Amino acid sequence: MAERARVYPLRREPQLPQEPLWREVLGQRLRALRREQRETLAETAARAGISPQYLSEIERGRKEPSSEMIAALAGALGTTLTGLTEQVAVHLRRQQASPRASGPVLLALAA
Instruction: Identify which has the larger pLDDT, 86 or 2.
Output: 86
- Which candidate, 93, 67, 90, 91, places its Cα nearest to that of 80? 67
Q: How far is CA 108 from the centre of its chain?
A: 15
Domain interval for residue 88: 22-97
Residues 99, 17 contacting (CB under 8 angstroms): yes
Which tens digits make up the pLDDT trace of 7-55? Answer: 777 777 666 667 889 999 999 999 999 999 999 999 999 999 999 999 9
What is the CATH classification number for the domain harbouring 29?
Answer: 1.10.260.40
Task: Name the pTM for this structure.
Answer: 0.73
4 falls within a domain = no
In a domain, 33, yes or no: yes
Amino acid occupying residue 70: I
Residue from 34, 36, 84, 87 nearest 59 by CA: 34
Number of domains composing the chain: 1
